[in-house]
A and B are shown apart, each in its own frame.
Chain A
Amino acid sequence: MVALLILIPLIGIIILNMLPRETAKRTAFWFAMAIFMAQIFIALSQHTLFSGREAVEFYLVHGTALAIDSLGVIMLLSIGIVALPSLIVGQCMLSDRNELFRFINLLIITTIGMTGIIIVRDIFTLYVFLEITAVASFVLIAFRKDINGLEGAFKYLMLSAIATVLILTSIALILISSCGTSFAAIHEALAQSGSNPLIVFAIVIFICGLLIKGGLVPFHGWLPDAYMAAPAPVSILLGGIVTKAAGIYTLIRMAASVFIFDERIRTMLMLLGTISILAGAFAALGQKNFKRMLAYSSISQIGYIVLGFGTGTALGIAGAVFHLFNHAIFKSLLFVNAAAVEKQVGTNDMQKMGGLSSRMPVTGATSVIGMLSTSGIPPFAGFWSKLIIIIALWQSAYYSYAAIAIMASVVTLAYFLYMQRTVFFGELAVGLENIKEANFGFVLTSSILAAITIGVGLFFPIIFNIFFMPVKEILVK
């Protein structure tokens, strides 16, 4: 069943490209829709609640270990939930049917790459799927072939190449002391030779490679340009899930289950997480471009995830994964709204906007929900995940980190209030009198994402206990 998550889209893409051109273009959207829905269904069906089995399931496909555990379920769910808005927004924004067809192909390939990252349990196969995700992302960022897109893609390509070199070098060094490439074999070998300086060096450069892919400060150089320059549906995918699957999920998986998650790694992650929270939040304050501000906001929110994970406690890890899921949803929502505004107004420059709520009521209202959730205002989902991270920090006696996390939330609220006031509230800007609400695709997508944000917030105790607390199992005893 698990291998089908990769094989069906792969075979589907090959068949799709072999069909007569017109038939392929007509069916591509529905084919992609079916794949992403199936992904959500399979992810849920693998959860203990529905399957009745133990959380961790292993499937051996010709010697390669594949698995979905509680963390995998959440990630697969997030991928499906974010890929759908990206697809729908792509359908709304790309008028050229050839472009749309190619976009859908790349979107499916990116989701295959991310799915592979989630389910493999072999370090080299993990590397292969990281590269699939990266290559598809380069092309997606440069999709419009304008100078900004090419620059953003080039920056991502260069930094991703550095990440690749670091990860491959690390794998080579780790393999010197390990007999196999499976996570279990590597963990066993590292447990015996973990204090060797060479192994410590290998682990550090592996983590640095993942931090580049995750866009954490100081490895974030590519992220704002890529998010801003990419077409709207690609920004949703990148901001919603790609950096999280390729960078942050892999970091969590490797640090907790494969490497020795000791004090040194935890301290390093907490420091980088805190720097990212602050740098991202303060950089977002000064932005005039809607998407660029969301990009810096993403850096800040990813910092929260890494900070929570860095505590190393069960609650901290559950909180980090909860925030990862929430961020995937509310950041996708905000990017969908940015896309709707870009489509209707024709720009992302916030200075040229104002009073759009009167013309785009659904976009304006859902934007408030996304903004409040990101800022950690109750009862939205983002409030609970930030609260859990802060409680985990407090319980572990990291008082100063907890204080910084709270203070940064205030900064987050400040820049989002500025965004909301400049774009949606106040008097209607000159020249925007004829603006109408975005079309049904945007409205439907943003409404569903907003409903998830509210729903997760309202039913937090049930959802957190069933889906997120079991994530602590990833910590290898």
Chain B
Amino acid sequence: MINDMNINLLLLVLMTIATMWTVMGRSLLKATIGLAVTSAVLTILMFRLNSPLAAVFELSVCTGLITVVFVSTISLTKPLTHKEIIERSKARHKRFGYLPFVMILAGVALYFLKIPNDFAGMADKYIAAQAAAPDPRRVIWDVRQLDLFGQIILMIAGALGVVILFVEGKDKDER
């Protein structure tokens, strides 16, 4: 009864729950943990769908590195009081309370709409090209070099964002 497809579906549901928890949680730190759990479940899914390299990236970058960056950033912000947390939590639940129902409705709608989900035929050419393609690690360093430069620029932009929006704000608050 529990075949591969069902396990994947269960993981997908688990990932959705973790995402909901991330969005609807009342603490930034818990949201970060929720995001890390989401990435961890996605990693398992990627392993199961025969994409070990993507899974390793997801695990190291999204579950590991990004979580560290988020926690570091949160440490630069001013914590809310308990009362504020409760108030914001209520407001957030009021604002996003409908999200789980939307997700369920969307799932049911997609099921009944019978959106094509069998890509096997279309992907033949792609899979054949993949088989003949060089090692993905070499591709990243040799072929996708511009993307790596792009990522460096993105990191600089992100770092500047943190400095401008969080560090300076904290300095002003302290003053």
The answer to whether B145 and A177 touch across the interface, beta carbons within 8 angstroms, is no
A268 interfacial by beta-carbon distance below 8 Å: no
A175 to B142, CA, bound (A): 20
The answer to whether A196 and B142 touch across the interface, beta carbons within 8 angstroms, is no
Contacts of A179 in B (CB 8 A): 125-126, 129
Please provide the chain A residues from 100 to 155 with a CB less than 8 Å away from any CB of chain B in the complex: 102, 105-106, 109, 112-113, 116, 120, 122, 124-125, 128-129, 131-132, 135-136, 138-139, 142-143, 145
Nearest-CB residue, chain B, relative to A105: B160
Partner of B157, one of A7, A106, A143: A106
The answer to whether B161 and A116 touch across the interface, beta carbons within 8 angstroms, is no
A193 to B169, CA, bound (A): 52
A182 to B35, CA, bound (A): 32
The answer to whether A176 and B149 touch across the interface, beta carbons within 8 angstroms, is no
Contacts of B144 in A (CB 8 A): 63-64, 124-125
A346 to B161, CA, bound (A): 27
Please provide the chain B residues from 118 to 175 with a CB less than 8 Å away from any CB of chain A in the complex: 119, 122-123, 125-126, 129, 142-147, 149-154, 156-158, 160-161, 163-165, 168-169
Nearest CB of chain B from residue A16's CB, rounded to whole Å: 11
Contacts of A14 in B (CB 8 A): 156
Contacts of B153 in A (CB 8 A): 10, 109, 112-113, 132
A264 interfacial by beta-carbon distance below 8 Å: no
Contacts of B126 in A (CB 8 A): 175-179
Identify whether the interface residues of A are mostly helix, strand, loop, or mixed. helix
Residues 102-131 of chain B, each 1 if its beta carbon lies under 8 Å from chain A, else 0: 000000000000001001001101100100
The answer to whether A109 and B157 touch across the interface, beta carbons within 8 angstroms, is yes
How many residue pairs between the two chains, A and B, have CB atoms under 8 Å in the bound complex?
Answer: 101
The answer to whether B150 and A129 touch across the interface, beta carbons within 8 angstroms, is yes
Nearest CB of chain A from residue B73's CB, rounded to whole Å: 13
Please provide the chain B residues from 37 to 80 with a CB less than 8 Å away from any CB of chain A in the complex: none
Contacts of A286 in B (CB 8 A): none
The answer to whether B116 and A198 touch across the interface, beta carbons within 8 angstroms, is yes
With A61-B145, A109-B153, A197-B116 given, is the CB distance from A102 to B122 under 8 Å? no
The answer to whether A64 and B146 touch across the interface, beta carbons within 8 angstroms, is yes
The answer to whether B154 and A131 touch across the interface, beta carbons within 8 angstroms, is yes
The answer to whether A135 and B158 touch across the interface, beta carbons within 8 angstroms, is yes
Q: By the criterion of a CB under 8 Å from any partner CB, how many residues of chain A are at the interface?
A: 44
A296 to B137, CA, bound (A): 47
Partner of A62, one of B129, B142, B160, B168: B142
A82 interfacial by beta-carbon distance below 8 Å: no
The answer to whether A102 and B164 touch across the interface, beta carbons within 8 angstroms, is yes
A66 to B145, CA, bound (A): 12
Residues 1-31 of chain A, each 1 if its beta carbon lies under 8 Å from chain B, else 0: 0010011001001100000000000000000
Contacts of B119 in A (CB 8 A): 176, 198
In this complex, which of A116, A122, A124, A139 has the most chain B Cβ atoms within 10 angstroms of its Cβ? A139
Contacts of B145 in A (CB 8 A): 61-64
Contacts of A10 in B (CB 8 A): 149, 152-153
The answer to whether A128 and B154 touch across the interface, beta carbons within 8 angstroms, is yes
Nearest CB of chain A from residue B40's CB, rounded to whole Å: 20
The answer to whether B154 and A135 touch across the interface, beta carbons within 8 angstroms, is yes
Contacts of B149 in A (CB 8 A): 6-7, 10
Residues 381-406 of chain A, each 1 if its beta carbon lies under 8 Å from chain B, else 0: 00000000000000000000000000
Nearest CB of chain B from residue A109's CB, rounded to whole Å: 5
Nearest-CB residue, chain B, relative to A17: B156
Nearest CB of chain B from residue A242's CB, rounded to whole Å: 14
Nearest CB of chain B from residue A410's CB, rounded to whole Å: 42
A16 to B44, CA, bound (A): 42
Contacts of B150 in A (CB 8 A): 116, 125, 128-129, 131-132
Contacts of A180 in B (CB 8 A): 129
Nearest-CB residue, chain B, relative to A144: B164
Contacts of A198 in B (CB 8 A): 116, 119, 122
Contacts of B157 in A (CB 8 A): 106, 109, 132, 135-136, 139
Nearest CB of chain A from residue B21's CB, rounded to whole Å: 18
A96 to B113, CA, bound (A): 57
A88 to B168, CA, bound (A): 24
Contacts of A131 in B (CB 8 A): 150, 154
With A132-B153, A196-B122, A198-B122 given, is the CB distance from A143 to B164 under 8 Å? yes
Please provide the chain B residues from 12 to 39 with a CB less than 8 Å away from any CB of chain A in the complex: none
The answer to whether A63 and B125 touch across the interface, beta carbons within 8 angstroms, is no
Nearest-CB residue, chain A, relative to B151: A128
With A128-B151, A132-B150 given, is the CB distance from A109 to B122 under 8 Å? no
Nearest CB of chain A from residue B134's CB, rounded to whole Å: 11
Nearest CB of chain B from residue A199's CB, rounded to whole Å: 9
Nearest-CB residue, chain A, relative to B123: A176
In this complex, which of B126, B142, B143, B164 has the most chain A Cβ atoms within 10 angstroms of its Cβ? B164
| 21 pairs of residues in contact across A and B, judged by CB atoms under 8 Å | A3-B146, A13-B156, A63-B142, A64-B147, A102-B160, A102-B163, A105-B160, A112-B153, A125-B144, A128-B146, A132-B150, A132-B153, A135-B158, A135-B161, A136-B160, A138-B161, A139-B160, A143-B164, A179-B126, A180-B129, A198-B119
Q: List 6 additional A-B contacts (Cβ < 8 Å) besides A62-B146, A136-B157.
A: A6-B146, A10-B153, A109-B160, A125-B150, A135-B157, A176-B119
Residues of A participating in the B interface, judged by any CB pair closer than 8 Å: 3, 6-7, 10, 13-14, 61-64, 66, 102, 105-106, 109, 112-113, 116, 120, 122, 124-125, 128-129, 131-132, 135-136, 138-139, 142-143, 145, 175-180, 189, 193, 196-198
In order of increasing CB-CB distance, the 5 nearest A-B pairs are: A128-B150, A63-B143, A139-B161, A179-B129, A62-B145
